[in-house]
Amino acid sequence: MDSILELLKRFKVTQLAGPILIILILAMMVLPLPPVLLDIFFTFNIAVSVIVLLVGINVRKPLDFSAFPTVLLVTTLLRLSLNVASSRVILLEGHSGPDAAGKVIESFAHFLIGDNVAIGIVVFVIITIINFVVITKGAGRIAEVSARFTLDAMPGKQMAIDADLNAGLIGEDEARLRRSTIAEEANFFGAMDGASKFVRGDAMAGILIIVINIVGGLIVGMVQHDLDAGVAAKTYTLLTIGDGLVAQIPALIISTAAGIVVSRVGTDKDMSEQFLGQMFTKPQVLYITAAVIGMVGLIPNMPHFSFLLIAGSLGLLGRIMEKRQKAEAEQVEQQQQAAPPPEHATAEVSWNDVQHVDQLGMEVGYRLIPLVDRSQDGELLRRIRGIRKKIAQELGFLVPPVHIRDNLEIKPNAYRILLKGVELGTGEAFIGQYLAINPGRVNGELAGTPTTDPAFGLPAIWIDAGKREEAQSLGYTVVDSSTVVATHISNLLQTHAAELLGREEVQALIDHQAKESPKLIEDLVPKVVPIGTLQKVLQQLLTEGIHIRDFRTILETLADHVATTQDIDELTNIVRTALSRVIVQQLFPGEQELPLMTLEPTLENVLMQAVQSKTGGGLEPGLAENLLASAAQETEQVEIQGYNPVLLTAPGLRPLLARFLRRALPQLRVISHNEIPDNKSIRIIAVIGGSKG
């Protein structure tokens, strides 16, 4: 079999199959076909329709059958071509008997309508009406509405993908795949909306063809073959109705498949699993239905046997489901009881009783356990791995693992993020619901539970899953519960990156660098540069928002200057000067002229005197208050203009101002004149303290 497939691929038969099929279908409209070939093609048409129906039933989401609009067009063309070919044979050879157009048409005619032509016409019209008015029209409407909502929701979905990408929850490849999926959904439902018109047109064509064949057959039979009017009417009507039923029954099957595909709601189960799992698993519903049907069956003159049979079957099914649910509950209880008992309270005290403090920890309420349960493939676990990978790529070191445990003392939907055992952040998440975040430009209000986005403090609303598309169409950024928690974790880890860089992480950095530069590490660490000094400088850089990916430059710079000074601020300033291109690239990517803020000269002189005269560089309360107020005002104005707020100051002032402004204005970065590369020019856009002297 494998060799046959390889041979077909070698001669590109699979690529030619589509064009050849279309050409054959169109050729059937022109070339006469013998009855034997008609039988084969009609049988093939029925088989294809059954395949399409079974595929439609078993798909889990509409995009799993994305070729369906094309299949719908091809099968419609096939039916119309067969109608044309069979009509030609009926009109040419119909006078010879009921098998003139092949055994399939004859068998359908005799099996479904017998010798009563009127019944055949009624059955054909009913099938056509069901196909045209009910199934095709409903499927087309669903596709039309789905396409409209999908298009309206595309901007919000794109924003959610960008948010996940920026937070490190997904990679570029997955983001590209999600964007492609969104576009495919819109294209699919739009194509289904148009393809449904083919089926409606096919139904109308079927009615016209049957009328034309009957009238044409009467004329041909009576004029050309001298048949009696009764014989001609019976013969040609029988053949025509059989031909119509052979074509319309597959059309009805494929229309049903179209309705099933477009009406699917996103789930991980196929239609059979959804149908049985949601309708026949609740014993109370089955018992009540059995009682109602049973009471109706006891009414006099009712068909007691059929009603009581169905009532008994439903009651028996309800009893079976009730026993199964009890057995599952008992099994869970036995597993819980079989868990190993805790150690005896009077056991000897040991180091095992000393609780270890995790570097990074997370506690969740019991309702959030599915998000972090490995046995249930918790979504949050994968997202945390993605966050650690992204932070490692951006900052240059590996963040410690996040140890997760449940905590029954907090709210069921709450979670706590811990750093060295101390609560760093907290929030709530609701599995099955979505957080609609207001980015500041929404077009309407949503019904839900108002809250605040835990990561960035934006106003938000918890909404049900059914309102997701509505929220996206109104301009909200909609994310699921695991994304909410993961984004919060990512934001906190980046903010407190310096506290996560311990001796173990620094040693891991050294070991990693030793693989690429073994001689450098052997000569410098710890002979020249102590690990403690290196750790403090790295922490200072991370605190000031500078990544440490260029670890080699940091080591070599420290090696050159650690013998002359041990002051961490001075060493950090020296390293920052060596990393000037990195710093400017982070703050002003791709810009040659740097828009900067600066201090008013008088204020800068006062600050320099304060640094030189007081140990530790303390500031007088009044001076500090005025400086902070002016910096906040100018920073706000710079942000309104669309610039990144960066303050340029003298090298001696930079550490003092960076520490002083960091808490109140974390978005304001402070750089010194030494950190401006020679190939960059500067432009002053704001002056701090200009009005305060």
pLDDT tens column, 447-484? 899 999 998 889 999 999 889 988 988 889 999 999 99
- The number of C-alpha atoms within 13 Å of 529 and in the hemisphere containing its C-beta is 27
Task: Determine if residue 226 is left, alpha or beta; phi over 0 gives left, psi from -120 to 50 gives alpha, anything else beta.
Answer: left
Task: Kindly state whether residue 351 falls inside one of the protein's structural domains.
Answer: no
- Residue from 96, 114, 113, 121 nearest 213 by CA: 121
Q: Between β-strands 360-364 and 403-406, what pairing exists: parallel, antiparallel or unpaired?
A: parallel
Q: Which helix (H) or strand (E) holds 473?
A: helix 468-473
Residues 6+ away with beta carbon under 8 Å from 565 = 571
The sheet carrying 422-428 orders its strands as 403-406, 360-364, 414-419, 422-428
Give the least confident one: 195-199, 516-520, 572-576.
195-199
Are 403 and 271 part of one and the same domain? no
- Measure the N-to-C terminal CA separation of the chain; round to a whole number of Å: 89
Distances (CA, A) of 456 to 406, 425, 452, 543: 25, 12, 8, 19
**Distance (Å, rounded) from C-alpha 122 to C-alpha 206?**
14
What number of residues does the chain have? 693
**Distance (Å, rounded) from C-alpha 424 to C-alpha 500?**
13
Are 309 and 436 part of one and the same domain? no
What is the domain count for the chain? 5
- Report, as an integer, the average pLDDT of 213-221: 77
- Of 430, 465, 497, the residue that ends a domain is 497
Q: Which helix (H) or strand (E) holds 368?
A: none
Are 486 and 398 part of one and the same domain? yes
In sign, the C-alpha dihedral spanning 58, 63, 67, 71 is positive
In this prediction, residue 347 has a pLDDT band, given cuts at 50, 70 and 90, of low
In this prediction, residue 342 has a pLDDT band, given cuts at 50, 70 and 90, of low
* Residue 425: per-residue pLDDT: 93
* Residue 690: per-residue pLDDT: 63
Give residue-wise pLDDT tens across range 641-688.
989 999 999 998 999 899 889 888 989 999 999 999 999 999 999 999
Are 637 and 671 part of one and the same domain? yes
Is the previous residue joined to 526 through a cis bond, with omega within 30 degrees of 0?
Answer: yes
Task: Kindly state whether residue 339 falls inside one of the protein's structural domains.
Answer: no
Are 263 and 295 part of one and the same domain? no
* Residue 362: per-residue pLDDT: 93
- Residue from 133, 139, 130 nearest 260 by CA: 139
Distances (CA, A) of 238 to 93, 315, 682: 13, 47, 92
Judge whether residue 9 has pLDDT over 60: no
Are 104 and 34 part of one and the same domain? yes
Are 572 and 678 part of one and the same domain? no
Are 491 and 625 part of one and the same domain? no
Task: Kindly state whether residue 248 falls inside one of the protein's structural domains.
Answer: yes
In this prediction, residue 376 has a pLDDT band, given cuts at 50, 70 and 90, of confident
Residues 6+ away with beta carbon under 8 Å from 106 = 98, 99, 239, 242
* Residue 577: per-residue pLDDT: 94
Judge whether residue 110 has pLDDT over 80: no
Owner of token pair 């092949």: 102
* Residue 107: per-residue pLDDT: 75
* Helix, strand or coil, per DSSP, at residue 57: helix
pLDDT over 70 percentage in the chain: 88
Task: Kindly state whether residue 583 falls inside one of the protein's structural domains.
Answer: no
**Distance (Å, rounded) from C-alpha 242 to C-alpha 87?**
11
In this prediction, residue 486 has a pLDDT band, given cuts at 50, 70 and 90, of very high
Judge whether residue 346 has pLDDT over 60: no
* Residue 542: per-residue pLDDT: 94
* Residue 162: per-residue pLDDT: 73
Residue 205, token pair as written in the block: 């064509």
- Report, as an integer, the average pLDDT of 324-331: 82
- Residue from 91, 115, 87, 35 nearest 221 by CA: 91
Residue 408, token pair as written in the block: 């029954």
* Helix, strand or coil, per DSSP, at residue 687: strand
Q: Which domain holds residue 109?
A: 17-140+192-276
- Report, as an integer, the average pLDDT of 514-524: 87
Q: Which helix (H) or strand (E) holds 206?
A: helix 172-219
Kindly state the DSSP code that residue 306 receives in the 8-state scheme: H
Kindly state the DSSP code that residue 461 receives in the 8-state scheme: E
Task: Kindly state whether residue 665 falls inside one of the protein's structural domains.
Answer: yes
Residue 370, token pair as written in the block: 């599915």
Give the least confident one: 10-14, 250-254, 357-361.
10-14
Residues 6+ away with beta carbon under 8 Å from 61 = 264, 266, 267
Q: Whole-number mean pLDDT of the chain?
A: 82
Owner of token pair 């810009």: 591
Judge whether residue 316 has pLDDT over 50: yes
In this prediction, residue 14 has a pLDDT band, given cuts at 50, 70 and 90, of low
In this prediction, residue 349 has a pLDDT band, given cuts at 50, 70 and 90, of confident
Task: Kindly state whether residue 362 falls inside one of the protein's structural domains.
Answer: no
* Residue 4: per-residue pLDDT: 52
With b meaning 16 or more CB within 10 Å and e meaning fewer, what string describes 402-433?
Answer: bebeeeeebeebbbbbbbeeeebbebbbbeeb
pTM score, whole prediction: 0.54
Distances (CA, A) of 272 to 73, 264, 347: 27, 12, 55
Owner of token pair 């009109």: 91
Task: Kindly state whether residue 197 falls inside one of the protein's structural domains.
Answer: yes
Residues 6+ away with beta carbon under 8 Å from 609 = none
Judge whether residue 692 has pLDDT over 50: no
Higher pLDDT residue, 493 or 161? 493
Q: Are 529 and 555 in contact (CB under 8 A)?
A: yes
* Helix, strand or coil, per DSSP, at residue 507: helix
Residue 65, token pair as written in the block: 């059958």
Give the least confident one: 118-132, 279-293, 425-439, 640-654.
118-132
Are 307 and 205 part of one and the same domain? no
In this prediction, residue 345 has a pLDDT band, given cuts at 50, 70 and 90, of very low
Are 558 and 628 part of one and the same domain? no
Are 512 and 480 part of one and the same domain? no
- Of 479, 497, 515, the residue that ends a domain is 497
Owner of token pair 């030609």: 88
* Residue 157: per-residue pLDDT: 74
**Distance (Å, rounded) from C-alpha 264 to C-alpha 56?**
10
10 Å CB burial of residue 683 (0-12, 13-18, 19+) is exposed
10 Å CB burial of residue 612 (0-12, 13-18, 19+) is exposed
Distances (CA, A) of 234 to 112, 217, 229: 15, 10, 9
* Helix, strand or coil, per DSSP, at residue 406: strand
Are 244 and 393 part of one and the same domain? no
Task: Kindly state whether residue 242 falls inside one of the protein's structural domains.
Answer: yes
- Report, as an integer, the average pLDDT of 113-142: 73
CATH number of residue 615's parent domain? 3.40.50.12790
